[in-house]
Amino acid sequence: MNKDGLIREVSESTGHPMTVVKDVLEGIVGTVQATVCRGEDVGLQGFGKWGRFVQRGRTARNPYTGESVEVSDKQVVRWKPSVPFKKRVNGE
């Protein structure tokens, strides 16, 4: 499902116009992005948590030349699903 499909589904299930659902969804996404970029976690109870983590640098290998390449530390975003969500996915 893509963004348009999600907007359509939420609009149908809540009875709210698609334009309102789109504005709310874009507001949520923008707020989550801004908050995680500031280094704060965002958690939605029953759904999951987004957070920013440091991926440690490492020595990698160029697949074409076989040469060793140093990869520096970088910031990455991770999403961890909540326990109830994991259970629902597994049919528990």
Q: What is the CATH number of the domain that holds 73?
A: 4.10.520.10
pLDDT in tens, 45-59: 999 999 999 999 999
Domain extent at residue 21: 3-89
Q: pLDDT value at position 78?
A: 95
pLDDT tens-digit readout, 5-45: 999 999 999 999 999 999 999 999 999 999 999 999 999 99
> Is the pLDDT assigned to residue 67 strictly greater than 90?
yes
Q: Domain tally for the chain? A: 1
Helix pair angle (18-37, 3-14), 10° resolution: 120
Q: Is the dihedral of CA 15, 18, 23, 25 positive or negative?
A: positive
Mean pLDDT of 77-86: 96
CA gap 32, 48 in Å, rounded:
12
For residue 92, is pLDDT > 90? Answer: no
Give the rounded distance of the alpha carbon of 13 from its chain centre: 23
pTM: 0.79
What was the pLDDT predicted at 89? 95
